[in-house]
Structure 1
Amino acid sequence: MGEQLLSVGIDIGTSTTQLILSRLTLENRAAPFTVPRVAISDRQVLYRSDIHFTPLLSDTVIDAAGVRDIVAGEYRKSGFSPAQVDTGAVIITGETARKENAREVLSALSEFAGDFVVATAGPDLESILAARGAGADEYSKEHHTTVLHFDIGGGTSNLAKYSHGELLSTGCLDVGGRLIKLDPGGRVAYVSPALARAGCPAPAVGELVTPEGLAPVIQIMVEALEQAAGLRPGRDRLEAFLTQGTSWTAEAVPVVSFSGGVADCICHPPENWLAYGDIGVQLGKAIASSPAFQQVGRFQGAETIRATVVGAGSHATDLSGSTIFYRDITFPLKSLPILKLSAREETGTAEELAERIVDKLGWYADQEGLTQLVLALRGEQNPSYTRIQELAQGVVRGLEPLRRAGFVPIVAVEADQAKVLGQAMAALCPGPLLCLDGVGVDNGDYMDIGAPVAGGTVLPVVIKTIAFHKS
């Protein structure tokens, strides 16, 4: 049995708030007398919370105290304490991420997060976590096929396309079950601004509606999903509902899968169309009866409404490579922006490399100056000793403005060479230093780095998209 980590996943969605606790098992898969290769070998969900409606004070304000009470109550019922948590993620998803006090909610949850929990709301990460939580990635790998996974919640539909186990693309549409909320009598209580942005005709607040009266609005949403899957000609509906700042290339896929609250209504809709006080039941029925979706294969994952929180609790964390170098670092490190050089920019002399790094540091300077960041490099396969020394000199000189500003030189290398690079850098600059490898990132990503595990040989790492998106 390898080392074990307790991971928490908390998903605060447009409709529901959930929590899970998982056990992650670490295992060294390297042969004896070789460099350790530690990987997560097993993921076991230990506790699934009840599904709670996300408490709101208004259409634009989350009830932070209410969310805190939900999480506190679920911790008590689980039998685990926050102090036992090693890693995990807090995910504020869908329209909830656009609420004006999303950061306040994360602050209210800080005492339940342990020392290393991510707070993020990037649609790319949401899409990946939901797909992995539902098992769409494994299905595509095992069946040698391409799967487009839709996670349809209250405010948005997150898309993730996997082919033979590899992630191809992610996207997000403003399509969800709570874009229109209804009172118990069928009168409209709320209409999301997303429908107006999409140019979609919608009933007015206070209007009494029927399933038949809502059918045209719901049909337009379904057509947007069909176009995203390449199952309907054109891009008009797709373009209208694409979430601001996202893009999507539509291609016909052989298999689709669904998760989220609406997925339950696709498979097992309740008899009462007003059961959830929104259009989720009708949206699920419309997807189920769509001729376009009926003509392709459908994978039904083990998780539907819980897919994102399962993904957050057991799939958000990855591990660095096992040839890391760190000195005088206080962990955890959270929300570090990535500055990645291109392959061409990594070439050349130490002086040329330093100049390129200094030039790009300006991307992350604000009115108060530079900020802590991670310099990301691809690295070279089997570099010579001379080349490592040259690379170290260039990086140290390039990051000197950062170090003078009181920040730590942190370097992430895709290639397996962080230890030797870190050692070379350590001889050139005093103070804290961190080099890790085996991590693929890009500009626009953020990184969280947890305290060392497995005897100090690896670091828990979470790569995430921009922490909050605007409506």
Structure 2
Amino acid sequence: MNGVSILSVGIDIGTSTTSMVLSRIQMRNTASGFSVPQVCIVGSEIIYKSEIYTTPLVDGILIDTEKIRAILEKEYDKAGITPSMIQTGAVIITGESARKQNASLVTQTLSSFAGDFVVATAGPDLESVIAAKGAGAQQYSKEHSCVVANLDIGGGTTNIAVFHCGELCAKGCWDIGGRLVQVDRQKKVTYLSPRLPAIMKAAGVSLELGRTADWQELDRLCRVMAQVLEDTLKFTASKLCEEMRTAGSSRLTLSRPVEYITFSGGVADCVYSPQEDWFRFGDIGPILAHSIRESSLMRDYQVIPPKETIRATVVGAGSYTTSVSGSTITYTDESVFPVKNLPAFLLGRETEHQCLTGNDRNLREETEWFLEQNDCDNLLFCIQDIDSLSYRQLNLLADALCHTADSALGKEQTVMVLCRGDFAKALGQAMQRRLLDRKLVCIDSISVQFGDYIDIGRPLMNGMAVPVVVKTLLYG
């Protein structure tokens, strides 16, 4: 079999809107007949887009889980699919929704829609990358050999990702969005985000719940928000930029200037298509878009149209969260798949190289600490610094990993190993001889970071590769 396609779902529960897309992802063995197989994702096609719904809330701090479930039941039925047909994808809880008190409960409740292999993710940096890919910024940067920044401006946050020649070079998230202030039909203020006081102080305005919104005050407020985005892209980050940076997000640091920008998210629709009714959506989104159009963002960069605006994140979730392992992998029992929410345990650089000398003391101590700190029964041993091994080093590393697994993990737990380098098959075979009847999975060609969680799907292409999602689970 030279090629295969899998069905992927993307579900985005954002501050303002909730939506879903279905994509068909194509995978193929791109190696010649006389070479080691190399399975790659060669394309994706969106085959269904849901309606865009206002994210249902019970009140200001709780997502209405049952209404979300009803939305997905309706859209699954319209698309003619069942959860068992889904093979990969992601549920993304984004923006201020990720900080709702029941965000983690929502993902548990939606597990029945997950099929075998759909993940729940809500990390600001990851959202930045997913939205930028869905908007087409990465592809444009690659095709035109340039630096492109995508600003995904939603209801609660603005996610920024920068690509140079298709490679991610910076990412970050700021609490700037169209629903930080909400109004009713009488233009009275009904909601003020807890993140708003710093912006109000900088703008010299004082908004109050129940008071009629003053357009001039809101305009000054939004101009300050636009200024934060300007300063962020121009490396003149002010104290306010730092104050508005989303908790857990990276600082945006670039080695070369941005040349092109594109906008996605709900506010982007108003940037590209100005609204005459400032309060049409019951928030400040159209006013923020107006401030952005009048800012230096539109003068100092070449603005390019995105492939997607309001659907960028959900398209990215359905089409760009999945990667494929290397084709030289080892697993002893296919029944262990799919694997969900496995914490990535990154061996320290010194620890990795100590294992190659036969010293596994640090490895055992770090493993016990990681299991205790994460309150988990299993983990994924992640070897990220070793690129190549001699036969002797391979066997010493296998010894260290097997001894540690036997002492730290329950006998019923599958031993899971991930290598960034391309040696998982050889390492896995060496470990298999030592582990005897114990289940083992050893995959390669995947990079992870501290704090990541991993999902591994069922083997594809006659067992040559597995689909992998690297994610960050972050609530609050």
Q: Normalising by structure 1, what TM-score?
A: 0.95
Which runs of 5 or more structure 2 residues have no equivalent in the other structure?
none
Q: Which residue of 2 aligns with 1:464?
A: 471
Q: How many Å apart are 1:123 and its aligned residue?
A: 0.9
Distance 1:205 1:396, change over 3 A: same
Q: How many Å apart are 1:30 and its aligned residue?
A: 0.5
Deviations 1:143-194 (A, max 9, x none): 1111111111101111111111111121110001001111012110000001
Q: Which residue of 2 aligns with 1:249?
A: 252
Q: Which residue of 2 aligns with 1:279?
A: 284
Query: Do the aligned residues in 1 keep the contact of 2:268 with 2:309 (CA within 8 Å)?
Result: yes
Q: How many Å apart are 1:381 and its aligned residue?
A: 4.2
Q: Matches of residues 357-368 of structure 1 in structure 2 within 5 Å?
A: 357-366=363-372
Q: Which residue of 2 aligns with 1:448?
A: 455
Residue identity opposite 1:170 in structure 2 = K
Say whether 1:189 aligns with 2:172.
no
Q: Which residue of 2 aligns with 1:225?
A: 229
Q: How many Å apart are 1:44 and its aligned residue?
A: 0.2
Q: How many Å apart are 1:344 and its aligned residue?
A: 3.3
Say whether 1:388 aligns with 2:394.
yes
Q: Which residue of 2 aligns with 1:113?
A: 114
Q: Matches of residues 77-92 of structure 1 in structure 2 within 5 Å?
A: 77-92=78-93
Say whether 1:434 aligns with 2:441.
yes
Q: How many Å apart are 1:299 and its aligned residue?
A: 2.1
Residue identity opposite 2:366 in structure 1 = K
> After alignment, is 3-12 or 336-345 more displaced?
336-345
Q: Normalising by structure 2, what TM-score?
A: 0.94
Give the Cα–Cα distance (whole angstroms) in 2 for the partners of residues 194 and 415 of structure 1: 43
Once the two structures are aligned, what percentage of the paired residues are identical?
A: 42
Q: How many Å apart are 1:445 and its aligned residue?
A: 1.2
Give the Cα–Cα distance (whole angstroms) in 2 for the partners of residues 362 and 394 of structure 1: 14
Say whether 1:152 aligns with 2:157.
no
Q: Which residue of 1 aligns with 2:143?
A: 142
Q: Which residue of 1 aligns with 2:243?
A: 240
Distance 1:346 1:17, change over 3 A: same
Query: Do the aligned residues in 2 keep the contact of 1:361 with 1:370 (CA within 8 Å)?
Result: no
Distance 1:219 1:454, change over 3 A: same
Deviations 1:298-346 (A, max 9, x none): 1221101000000000111110000110113521111111111244332
Say whether 1:131 aligns with 2:132.
yes
Query: Do the aligned residues in 1 keep the contact of 2:124 with 2:248 (CA within 8 Å)?
Result: no
Residue identity opposite 2:464 in structure 1 = T
Give the Cα–Cα distance (whole angstroms) in 1 for the partners of residues 245 and 397 of structure 2: 42
**Could you say what secondary structure the match of 2:350 adopts?**
coil
What's the RMSD between the two structures over aligned residues? Answer: 1.8
Query: Do the aligned residues in 1 keep the contact of 2:28 with 2:41 (CA within 8 Å)?
Result: yes
Residue identity opposite 2:119 in structure 1 = V
Give the Cα–Cα distance (whole angstroms) in 2 for the partners of residues 49 and 114 of structure 1: 18
Give the Cα–Cα distance (whole angstroms) in 2 for the partners of residues 293 and 312 of structure 1: 28
Say whether 1:322 aligns with 2:327.
yes
Give the Cα–Cα distance (whole angstroms) in 2 for the partners of residues 367 and 250 of structure 1: 31
Q: How many Å apart are 1:353 and its aligned residue?
A: 4.5
Q: How many Å apart are 1:369 and its aligned residue?
A: 5.9
Residue identity opposite 2:331 in structure 1 = Y
Query: Do the aligned residues in 1 keep the contact of 2:231 with 2:241 (CA within 8 Å)?
Result: yes
Distance 1:401 1:216, change over 3 A: farther
Query: Do the aligned residues in 1 keep the contact of 2:140 with 2:166 (CA within 8 Å)?
Result: yes
Say whether 1:208 aligns with 2:212.
yes
Deviations 1:72-104 (A, max 9, x none): 111111122222111110000010011111122
Distance 1:202 1:240, change over 3 A: farther
Q: 2:421 aligns with which of 415, 421, 442?
A: 415
Distance 1:425 1:256, change over 3 A: same
Give the Cα–Cα distance (whole angstroms) in 2 for the partners of residues 368 and 336 of structure 1: 11
Give the Cα–Cα distance (whole angstroms) in 1 for the partners of residues 61 and 250 of structure 2: 25
Query: Do the aligned residues in 2 keep the contact of 1:357 with 1:399 (CA within 8 Å)?
Result: no
Residue identity opposite 1:436 in structure 2 = I
Query: Do the aligned residues in 1 keep the contact of 2:125 with 2:250 (CA within 8 Å)?
Result: no
Query: Do the aligned residues in 2 keep the contact of 1:84 with 1:114 (CA within 8 Å)?
Result: yes
Distance 1:367 1:268, change over 3 A: closer
Deviations 1:59-82 (A, max 9, x none): 001100001111111111112222
Distance 1:458 1:298, change over 3 A: same
Q: How many Å apart are 1:397 and its aligned residue?
A: 1.6
Give the Cα–Cα distance (whole angstroms) in 2 for the partners of residues 436 and 44 of structure 1: 27
Q: How many Å apart are 1:402 and its aligned residue?
A: 3.0
Give the Cα–Cα distance (whole angstroms) in 2 for the partners of residues 322 and 205 of structure 1: 58
**Could you say what secondary structure the match of 2:159 adopts?**
strand
Query: Do the aligned residues in 2 keep the contact of 1:228 with 1:250 (CA within 8 Å)?
Result: no
Give the Cα–Cα distance (whole angstroms) in 1 for the partners of residues 399 and 26 of structure 2: 38
Deviations 1:434-470 (A, max 9, x none): 10001011211111111111111111100112x1232
Which runs of 5 or more structure 1 residues have no equivalent in the other structure?
none
Say whether 1:176 aligns with 2:177.
yes
Give the Cα–Cα distance (whole angstroms) in 1 for the partners of residues 62 and 43 of structure 2: 38
Q: Matches of residues 26-105 of structure 1 in structure 2 within 5 Å?
A: 26-105=27-106
**Could you say what secondary structure the match of 1:287 adopts?**
helix
Residue identity opposite 1:453 in structure 2 = L
Q: How many Å apart are 1:249 and its aligned residue?
A: 3.3
Query: Do the aligned residues in 2 keep the contact of 1:6 with 1:21 (CA within 8 Å)?
Result: yes
Residue identity opposite 1:66 in structure 2 = K
